[in-house]
Structure 1
């Protein structure tokens, strides 16, 4: 019964996390004005900027801290280990909803591409391509492990959990973080770039790069020479570039 409840819990967490990603995409797509981050400004500019930075930190700090091994080792003394990842997905989903729903518009316009023009459709094509890259990347890792379902499913079957092996396939041959790259493409390729959207894109892009750096520290500890060799051959974010990550001690 306990294992079944954990599995149901993981499904609920998965649905909340997945829904938050869809809400994020739609909020910056300009396709549904009612949930768009580009509303009319309601507060002074400086207050909106400070609030938006605080919202990003509210999302980013737990998202990063809870992904680190010391926190995982601590939380699994409180929660059953199989639902640790699902709990992480749950808090990330809730905080992403909070981030988007409370985002303060600041007005202004950086660029607007005429609707119906070739460039308009090109930008939207890249917008959706970015999010496709993000979702495909989760399956290349292991979508159900990443979102916490594999852990509770194995527990339900009374099978031991095994860590994912390090493998370089498909998009990961060209960039070490295609998931983050997809998100960045989705943030920046838009026919309408308001000042509100620009601030959102800048702050989230900065978080993606910072998150990637912290993630790679863990990956180097876990996979050692395999990952170090991978870093030397594969760009961190932008495919087909020769930049190499600095290897910390």
Structure 2
């Protein structure tokens, strides 16, 4: 029983660290309210040094996030880490890599575009918050607590079997296959002032998102077979489509 309690506490701590890193991400990308943002902090000596550091940080997150999500890695990893805390460990390590990115990011403050008009600036700010709202809402549509490892440690402490979730089309998933990624894309690109550093961040994360979708859909077809193939033919990947009757 003591091991179950420790596992549950581990899951809670991992989730709290994730929540902090997620909230910080909003302020980091939005360039407000925190000591270190995408456009603030110590600058690198040269443009190429800054680009190298930033690309390395983004690449580290992409590799960690993608490799640890693959079935082959999970089969090896769960020989070391108990399966009921595998997701919490993934969430924790992803959060720590994000924190490293926030800490070591080198700003590139050359302005690519700036929207000063009140209406258009307000629209872009509104889209920024809409994007993050979609991200958060989507996590609850697909079981927020399973996504971030809390369901697994809760079932373990109760002594119940951890079963996979069935394929469903809740909420926004009726209109777009990857609303979570759509939310991130909106949040990363919607800004009244696009600096070079922010542009590098947006381009790199956009590329990673589409690569990640390719890997994820390959796994989903393997898990759900014809059901997901039919869903993929019927619903657009990123651009929302009207729901068919």
The TM-score range, normalised by the shorter chain, is over 0.9
Contact 2:61 2:97 in 1 (8 A): yes
Partner of 2:195: 194
Contact 2:27 2:34 in 1 (8 A): no
Structure 2 CA distance for partners of 1:33 and 1:154, relative to 1, 3 Å? closer
Q: Does structure 1 residue 205 correspond to structure 2 residue 201?
A: no
Q: Aligned ranges for residues 57-68 of structure 1 at < 5 Å?
A: 57-68=59-70
Partner of 1:141: 142
Alignment: residue pair count: 240
**1:175-206 C-alpha deviation (Å, 9 max, x unpaired):** 11110110110000111111111111111111
SS in 2 for 1:110: strand
**1:12-48 C-alpha deviation (Å, 9 max, x unpaired):** 0011112111111101112226321102633201111
Contact 1:63 1:92 in 2 (8 A): yes
Partner of 1:23: 24
Partner of 2:85: 83
Measure, in 2, the Cα distance between the counterparts of 1:237 and 1:49. 28
Q: Displacement of 1:240 after TM fit?
A: 2.6
Contact 1:41 1:107 in 2 (8 A): no
Bigger drift between 25-34 and 207-216 goes to: 25-34
Contact 1:10 1:86 in 2 (8 A): yes
Bigger drift between 27-36 and 192-201 goes to: 27-36
Partner of 2:7: 6
Q: Aligned ranges for residues 74-113 of structure 1 at < 5 Å?
A: 74-113=76-115
- Superposed CA RMSD in Å reads 1.3
Partner of 1:159: 160
Q: Does structure 1 residue 130 correspond to structure 2 residue 131?
A: yes
**1:142-188 C-alpha deviation (Å, 9 max, x unpaired):** 10000000001001111111110100121111111110110110000
Unmatched segments (≥5 aa) in structure 1: 242-249
Unmatched segments (≥5 aa) in structure 2: none
TM-score if structure 1 supplies the norm length? Answer: 0.93
